[in-house]
A and B are shown apart, each in its own frame.
Chain A
Amino acid sequence: MQTYCKKILGAAAPAAALVAALAAVACEDHGDDHDHDHDHENEVISQVELTFTPAGGGAPLVFKFDDPDGDGGASGTAERIELASGVEYTLTVRFQNSLVDPPENLTGEIEAEAEDHFVFVVGDVAGPASSASTALVTHAYADVESDYGTNAVGEDLPVGLVNTITGNTAGTGKFRVILRHLPEVNEQPQKTGELPADLAAGRDLPGSVDVDVSFDLIVS
């Protein structure tokens, strides 16, 4: 109904639009409903779920960051990651919007646009995007863009939705996951193979940050 009114306004002659504009009040007057999410495009990421599956078998370990009010004033919380040294894990990263009911899994959209996204793992981590002096774990990418679709542009780069994490030395530190959105600018790709190294060297990256969450890390 709302859209219909606006179409009339956009196309009609001013005189007709005057009538339509006044009529639009009826369409826009909505009373007290709280239905903010109704019929709306959204892609908020409010939950980041890390699943560490031991390569040698065993129950997967799941750790979450959750911000239940999204960009509201209340702070989000991250669970503490507990891993074992000397164990190799397959880490899968999932992004979810829990602000809608039922919660919406956004990982599929990132897979579909794998060439525009890059997940970085930093903190007390040794890996492509991080050269920490006290590396508690080692990170390596375990996926490439062509795992999720055809690799249309440039090299077949890692995405970071699937990774290999190996527990090194026991200790406590930080484990930080960054999802960077790198859409093309004027048909030129922004995602390149140098980005993890640029991040490790502290250089500024293009694109924008979709996710940047830090977890406390214990390796025992």
Chain B
Amino acid sequence: MWVASVVEAGTTEGLAGARLELRAPGRSSPIYARTDEHGRVRVDGLCAGEMQVVAEMPEHTPARLEVAVSGSTTTSRIELEAMHPRHSDHVIAVNVHTERPTGVSASQSLAGAELARTRGQGLADALSGMSGVATLRGTAGGMSKPMIRGHVGRRNLIVVDGIRHEGQDWGIDHAPEVDPNVADRITVVKGAGTTRFGAKAIGGVVLLDSRPLPQRPSVRSEIGTVGYSNPLGGGGSARIDWAPARARGFAIRVEGNATRHRAVVTPTYPLDNTGAATWNAGTQLGYASDAVDFGVGYRVMRTAGGICTCLRISSPEDFSKSLARSRPIGAELYRKDFEIERAKQEIWHHLAFARARVGLGRAGELHALYSFQFNDRKEFDVVRKSVEGPQLTFGLATHAAEVRYEHARLQLGPWSLVGTLGGTFSHQTNRFTSSSTLIPDYRQASWAVYDIERFVHERVELELGARYEGLHRNAALGERDFLSQQASGRLDPGACPASGDGGTCERGFHTASATLGALVRPVRRAPEFTWRTQLNSSARIPSIDEQFMNGAAPSFPILGVGSSKIGVERSWGGESTLQYDGDWLLVEAAGHAAYIDDYIYFVPQRQEGQCAPLSCTSRGPLPVFAFTPVDAFFGGGELRFDLRAPRLPFGLAGSASWVRALDLQTNAPLAFIPADRYWLAGRYYFPDTRVSGRGYIELNTTIVARQRRFPADVDFSPPPPAYALLGAGAGVEFMSERRLFRLSLIGTNLLNTRYRDYTSLLRYFADEAGWGLQLRFAVDFDVPLDEPTRR
């Protein structure tokens, strides 16, 4: 008999529902077990000998150990390190840590070996395997954004270690300046997360969480390398955590990574000038104790990426000619080199933060967070040689502060009540410099208060959330910008007085959001079966470009204009998810629908003048698109499953996602909504040996249908045909108690299929990447500096 208790390292609290995989002597297939409510597990009928144990628990780092099972009772104690910062005993008992998605919303996470297989890729590529998440691909190496259930950019929020990422995310070709390598878990909340995260989270939230600094004296390190064949390149990353034995509670982390690759190659030609170089560095220092934690840190990202020579947007005539070609003009001159020439983007992103947690005894605990971000973006066009500098520069500085109080658990009969009350404040300034108008400089201050309360019963959890927020924006329009927008009637005369050479527009917004959700385990004997449902009403405040854009839209031969009068966009939505998460089978089905009142959409607008209905410019007549409120409907669903045959070494996994979006005024579909997407993978698992484990080989296919629902007059070319891509992967881990080696090889587009994707900006100009291989090797090790571990 073997008796084990699984506890959280640091707090030594028993962890209920932890999953154990035992490779016992004399058995060909593993034994699975789960801990009880006190974190204990008991397994009978084991033969004496060496047994390998892997313990896993959501939100915790898995542990591996070898147990010598004797003839009588053997006891073990397994400590799992929490992925989230420490919490007081008074609030930890239920799963309410607020940096994570709440249990009632649909979400999907990437961690451990799955996350390791995405290292060295950009954020959007790392998430692209999730159901309901598509990619809005740019025209440069690795510059893409995630699309969650058809929402992108302005309607998605990215949160890194609890800090809202602030970048120039309105630009369709501006990738989020976030390094996915810092994260040990990436979670996508599919659907509105506005009550917790604010108005921008109307479409979805991407949460990147790094693991906390070690809480017991140790040196922990992760070193990884990656090499890929298309685009040819590679990189390395390292992270060292050190918690000295002499200064208990203190820990420091130093991390960094760099990748460089040359131009991407399609099946028939290279995408000239799509090389990229990126590096990241960061450090943080923390102190943790039962009563108080604090930490300070700094991270910097530097990235430079070329924009494909094939991108020619200078005139509508050129653009329509390039649409008609199956291959970019001059492709015979294209090269797959490392050199990054004009046109290109160069970005610095700095983040500094300080955080604290104070235990308030029986009252709960208080968290405080301050962050400063500076986003420095430079865009270089192909220009005459006498011009050396960038054509567009953006400098976005954001100070943000948040205080939240997590109240102690209240017992109301059989129900527990836990909750968080919080307030945020942020101040942002943006400086835009260019010889053309595009967006004005602005200053804005925003604040919010929110409360999320959760009633927890044995099989039912209810969540109520509400948020109220305000934003005050002060946009300073230059003379030319002001006069041009005033003449076209796009400025609200009452809010935009002339000042100096130009004008200043001031406007305040106030909105409220609310959610109501439930998590139910309908079958008492099958707690793995859950039903989640959520209703929400969320409001989004228009972003700077929606109010004041006045210029050539990035990446398209169009002029884009905003309107200072545009108001708040409000969604009324609901979603429901059924999930069975058993030992050998995961099945999940989710459905969602939302009505969006005054959805801010980009629609063509008829112009007067010599070039009517277009606008005359020095580069020919260009169509004008205006941000216009329309009423819209978004709906769809996702399905995913992961089956591992109980006694056989085979597995099958798949996912499917559908999104439908309509402009309710014209009943026309909305543009740039991802097409229906299906993914299927078959796996063979190698038997574990004394040194290796989790070996697998996989063959997969991704099928993307042609988008048949598209508006006739908004896009420049019809959606590309459907495509299917073949992929493969293989991986293995070599593990011991102190070290873990991970090796994986992934093949993409192995049949070298020529294809274009509806949500890729590249589709107007060139094909997507051809076949490629990615090889990754990583080593994690953990050396305790105090007494021998009690495992």
Contacts and interface: CB of A to CB of B under 8 A. Distances in A.
Interface of A: 2, 6, 9-10, 14-15, 17-18, 21-22, 24-25, 28-30, 32-38, 40-48, 65, 67-78, 97, 99-100, 109-110, 112-113, 116, 181, 183, 185-186, 188, 190, 204-206, 208-214
B294 interface: no
A43 B333 contact: no
Nearest to B300: A17
B387 A67 contact: no
17 contacts: A10-B302, A10-B348, A14-B298, A22-B352, A29-B397, A32-B499, A33-B476, A40-B389, A41-B390, A71-B436, A73-B490, A75-B611, A113-B385, A116-B384, A206-B329, A212-B317, A213-B616
A100 B479 CA distance: 11
A208 B559 contact: no
A54 B790 CA distance: 99
B620 A34 contact: no
- Interface of B (DSSP majority class): mixed
B602 interface: no
Contact of B352 (A21, A183, A185, A212): A21
A208 B397 contact: no
A73 B389 contact: no
Interface string B598-640: 0000000001111100011111100010000000000000000
A190 B328 CA distance: 14
B283 A15 contact: yes
A44 B384 CA distance: 11
B552 interface: yes
Contacts of B386: 109, 112-113
B477 A34 contact: yes
Nearest to A97: B435
A192 to B, nearest CB: 11
B283 A34 contact: no
Contact of B431 (A28, A68, A75): A28
A108 to B, nearest CB: 9
B329 A204 contact: yes
B459 interface: no
Contact of B372 (A21, A32, A69, A110): A21
A209 B387 CA distance: 17
A129 to B, nearest CB: 14
B4 to A, nearest CB: 41
Contacts of A204: 318, 321-322, 325, 329
B633 to A, nearest CB: 29
Contact of A210 (B272, B283, B619): B619
A40 B433 contact: yes
A183 B314 CA distance: 14
Contacts, number: 231
Chain B interface residue number, banded: 35 or more
B397 to A, nearest CB: 5
Contacts of B387: 41-43
Nearest to A212: B620
A132 to B, nearest CB: 16
Contacts of B620: 209, 212-214
B74 interface: no
**Max chain B Cβ within 10 angstroms of own Cβ: one of A22, A109, A212, A214:** A212
B501 A34 contact: yes
A28 B397 contact: yes
A156 to B, nearest CB: 20
Contacts of A190: 330, 333
Contact of A100 (B325, B382, B435): B435
B481 interface: yes
A73 B561 contact: yes
A75 B372 contact: no
Contacts of B552: 71
B429 A28 contact: yes
A48 B483 CA distance: 22
What 10 A-B pairs are tightest by C-beta distance, nearest first?
A: A42-B435, A41-B389, A212-B620, A75-B609, A69-B484, A18-B298, A72-B484, A209-B314, A209-B315, A208-B314
B298 A186 contact: no
Contact of B283 (A14, A24, A36, A38): A14
A149 to B, nearest CB: 12
Interface in B111-149: none
A180 B91 CA distance: 67
Given A37-B435, A74-B484, A75-B607, A18 B389 contact: no
Given A71-B552, A181-B382, A208 B312 contact: yes
A24 B397 contact: yes
